[in-house]
Amino acid sequence: MLLIAIFLFLGHVSSANSAFTLRSPNPMRFMTEPPKLTSGYVYETRYIDVLLDHFSFADDRTFKLKFLISTEFHEPHGPVLFYTGNEGPVETFAENTGFMWEHAEELKAALVFAEHRFYGSSLPFGNETFKDVEHFGYMTAEQALADFVSVIEYLQLTNENFTDAPVIALGGSYGGILAAWFRNKYPNLVAGAIAASAPVWMFPNMSSCGEFNRIATDTFVASGSEECRQNIATVWNSIQEVSKGPAGLQFLYRTFILCKPLVSVQPLIDYLVDFVGLLAMVNYPYEASFVGEFPAEPVKYFCRNLNAFSSKDQPVDVVLRTASAVRSVTNYTKQQKCIMIDDDLPGLGVKAWDIQTCMEMTIPMCATGVKDMFPPMDWDAEVFSEACFKKYGVRPRMGWSDKQFWGKRLQTASKIVFSNGDLDPWSGFGVQRQEDVPQCHVIRIPNGAHHLDLRASNSLDPADVIDARKQELDFIKTWIREWKAT
């Protein structure tokens, strides 16, 4: 399987019948190979020294931060479209943010894609980077934003074409959160921001923890069918039932064609919960290659293959058909030998995001099995904190992002587009109402999945995403004009 989900930071947690969540959301779950560079976009790769800790003078260590740059269409002092990199190698975002590439010429803009510290090649301590909290503890959003400041500062100091250049921040998902925060915290540097599918309110005490799973369920009804939803709802108990039989785990291992035998049933259920959520996120109208090889409208595709069974089937039949439907997607291009469901997947980013959720980026997630089609999952802050401490020797600061990054009080936030696709489960943690952000712009994309608007144009794009992109471009032009006027 080549299902790269770095762009999406999928985050499911724990699962069937467990009282509490011990697993943290992990965006890198489906990334098993480095990003493919197939777009043909041309950019330079550069590295600059940035401070490990921008906010004290006690430590003057630096490390190499990577950024990509294209100045092909940049006119002197013209705008900079600045991608605020998220939890993965920055090339992936350069490859998959066609929106920036398509408008560089018209805007006479430079394109910059800055890597997020602790991802890709921007590892402060090389092989030791994730050794312990004294190393990975600098992996915070405040520091990452200050890295972005350093990139801008570097460009301004070394190339006079960047003097006074209006910077437009763009990002999707966690990168979208960072784009919004970048504008909020540094409006002196950032003229405006496109925060695409940014779940800025995914943090503790900001939203209902069940929103993700509720919306994923709605998407399966809307793009699949009510029958599909009901079928998925029966999967969890069926798998549990089968696992209890003699050689049950062995049967599941063989049926799903897993890469490693199961020691318990839970990892399989966790994987499938994540997988189903992922399908809703990437429910694009065309074959998508940026998260591996997905069929067009993967929800519909999956449901079609799953609906061959009815809820009256025996558990073993449900399992057989579920496995077949899952494989129909994961092995869509016939390249997949087996399914890897381990938490310890290759790729440092897997671990990096997991650690971030144990520091600043905690995402409460739950399911009821009533409003949604998932196995019931509770979420408990203390249990989560304890699990983090056990795993990494660090505890989350759960109230901090609310204070540091303004939480729900966004009245003063300005010149940010908050765009969300209604199909995208993450939209439940996004800004959806204009009145919450009077100086920003809320764009809803009824037929959009996870930040579809940032992707390159496609003949199968729904009208609403075409319109969203047009609005975003207009806002960017306005922000540039207003920046130059002051």
Residue 128 touching a copy of itself (CB under 8 A): no
Contact between 142 and a copy of itself (CB under 8 A)?
yes
Which residue out of 12, 116, 441, 450 is catalytically annotated?
450
259 or 442: whose CB is closer to a copy of itself? 442
Which of 191, 325, 233 has its CA nearest to residue 16? 233
Looking at the Cβ atoms of 356 and 420, the one nearer to a copy of itself is 356
In sequence order, which residues have a C-beta less than 8 Å from that of residue 188 and are 6 or more positions away?
Answer: none
Closest to 180 measured CA to CA, from 138, 143, 140, 145: 145
Q: For residues 118 and 125, is the Cβ–Cβ distance under 8 A?
A: no
- Stretch of 14-22, 187-195, 199-207, 269-277 lying at the interface with a copy of itself (CB under 8 A): 187-195
Choice from 62, 64, 153, 386 touching a copy of itself (CB under 8 A):
153
Q: Using an 8 Å Cβ cutoff, are 237 and 314 in contact?
A: no
CA 342, distance to chain mean position in Å, is: 19
* Interface with a copy of itself, residue 134, by CB under 8 A: yes
Contacts with a copy of itself: how many residues (CB under 8 A)?
41
Q: Using CB under 8 A, which of 135, 371, 391, 444 touches a copy of itself?
A: 135
Nearest distance from residue 40's CB to a copy of itself, in Å? 35
The correct pick among 385, 404, 432, 471 for binding a copy of itself (CB under 8 A) is 404
Q: Does residue 387 belong to the site contacting a copy of itself (CB under 8 A)?
A: no
Is the Cβ–Cβ distance between 6 and 87 less than 8 Å?
yes
Q: Which residue, 411 or 434, has its beta carbon nearer to a copy of itself?
A: 411
Handedness of CA 141, 147, 150, 154 (dihedral sign): negative
Site for a copy of itself contains 407 (CB under 8 A): yes
- Amino acid letter for position 466: I
To the query of whether residue 401 is one of the catalytic residues in this protein, the response is: no
Which of 270, 354, 424, 453 is flagged as catalytic?
A: 424
424 is catalytic: yes
**Near a copy of itself by CB under 8 A: residue from 80, 111, 149, 361:** 149
CB of 83 to a copy of itself, least distance (A): 19
In the complex, the smallest distance separating the C-beta of residue 107 from a copy of itself, rounded to whole angstroms, is 21
Residue type present at position 66: K
Residue 16 gets which letter from DSSP?
A: T
Cα(415)–Cα(440) distance, rounded to whole angstroms? Answer: 5
Name residues whose C-beta falls within 8 Å of residue 247's C-beta, 6 or more positions apart in sequence: none
427 is catalytic: no
Q: Measure the CA dihedral 159/79/70/51, to 10°.
A: 60
Nearest CA-CA partner of 427 in 441, 444, 413:
444
Per DSSP, the three-state class of 65 is: strand
Cβ(3)–Cβ(362) below 8 Å: no
Query: Smallest gap, in angstroms, from Cβ of residue 77 to a copy of itself?
Result: 15
Q: Which of 38, 188, 264, 459 binds a copy of itself (CB under 8 A)?
A: 188
* 73 or 406: CB nearest a copy of itself: 406
**Binding test (CB under 8 A) with a copy of itself, winner from 245, 261, 346, 399:** 399
Smallest separation (angstroms) from a copy of itself to the CB of 196: 22
Which range binds a copy of itself by CB under 8 A, 87-95, 146-154, 442-450, 457-465? 146-154
87 binds a copy of itself (CB under 8 A): no
Closest to a copy of itself by CB, 313 vs 402, is: 402
**Min CB(308)–a copy of itself separation in Å:** 49
265-294 residues labelled b (16+ CB within 10 A) or e (exposed): bbbbbbbbbbbbbbbbbbbbbeebbbbbbb
The DSSP bridge pattern shows strands 167-172 and 110-114 to be unpaired
Among 9, 30, 119, 138, binds a copy of itself (CB under 8 A): 138
Q: Does 143 bind a copy of itself (CB under 8 A)?
A: yes
Crossing angle of helices 315-330 and 226-244, rounded to 10° = 110
> First-to-last CA distance in the chain?
51
Residues in 35-74 that interact with a copy of itself by CB under 8 A: 53-59
Given the residues 15, 173, 197, 243, the one annotated as active site: 173
d(CA 400, CA 228): 40
Nearer to a copy of itself, 138 or 236 (CB): 138
Residues that bind a copy of itself (CB under 8 A): 53-59, 133-140, 142-143, 146, 149, 152-153, 185-189, 359, 394, 397, 399, 402-404, 406-407, 409-412, 414, 486
Active site positions, annotated:
173, 424, 450
